[in-house]
Amino acid sequence: MQSTDAADLLALLHWMDDAPEREVFAPEARDPNELLLECEDSRCLVMEDDAGDGVCAYCALSPFRDGLILEGPVGSGVNLRALVDRAVQGAQGLPVYAFCARDNHGVRDALDTAGFAPMHTTDFYSSPLAPLARRASVPSGHHVRHRLPMAEYLALYRASEDTWANRLDWTLGEYDAHFARDNVRLIALTRGTHVVGFAELEFDHESGRADLTYLAVHPAERGQRYGHLLLALAAADAQTHPELRTLRARAHDHMAPARALYTHAGLAHCRSVVTYLRDGDEEA
């Protein structure tokens, strides 16, 4: 990709934004200069139309977790498989992740034929803050805290969901830096000295949305509606920011209790994203 392709790439990204079923992991920038800066650390590929008049598809590889992440492919009516194949040639034996909307059948077909395998589907749910926040009430003998000692946080994190292992190797400095961020908020519910659960939020002030990134209830405390209470307390906390209007939560396909919680609490399903992986021992 060349710097002169930025305008065409922006047009592709806006085309993707126009329909939820076209969603893939892609650059967030919607300004030419910011887009070029965001793409600096990526191996970006574009496909020109038959007339050579402009870019009709985009794909890229960027560092991610223990390997790489595929951005895109974004495009319509072109050979997306060829673009994906060309992109993963630069994987150098590393695993490659990809994310796309469940209903993005063109991209899913391209990923399937390029050797990617679906790992899981993540469903997203949303609700206006107000109806959730109205249910917020701290029971007698309970207290809300906005910081926990790292050991208490990780103990509940470990006990609640084994797929959250990416935080278990955090240093104290990383833990403190995370919760020092202006857009991160922890709502922990305690009974006496015992932490019964916590909700963690990340605020997107520009979009007016609070994302529920984690909701944990201690295994010994489940079945007592603490999940509903933490959801309401999180919404009430987010509502103290006037620019925030909605709460969004997510649950992977194996998280049946979380799915039931969000549905029963009145959140509406709004999108589904499939996570793919191409193993690092695949031939590029």
Q: What was the pLDDT predicted at 164?
A: 58
CA distance 54 to 82: 18
User: What pTM was computed for the model?
Assistant: 0.83
User: Domains in the chain, start-ordered, CATH in brackets?
Assistant: 3-115 (3.40.630.30), 125-271 (3.40.630.30)
Q: What was the pLDDT predicted at 1?
A: 74
Q: What was the pLDDT predicted at 284?
A: 38
pLDDT in tens, the chain (284 residues): 777 888 888 999 999 999 999 999 998 888 888 888 888 888 888 888 766 667 889 999 999 888 999 999 999 877 899 999 999 988 888 999 999 999 999 999 999 999 999 999 999 999 999 999 999 999 999 999 999 999 999 888 888 765 556 788 889 999 999 999 999 999 999 998 899 999 999 999 989 999 999 999 998 998 899 999 999 999 999 999 999 999 999 998 888 889 999 999 999 999 999 999 998 764 43
Q: What was the pLDDT predicted at 283?
A: 46
Q: What was the pLDDT predicted at 51?
A: 66
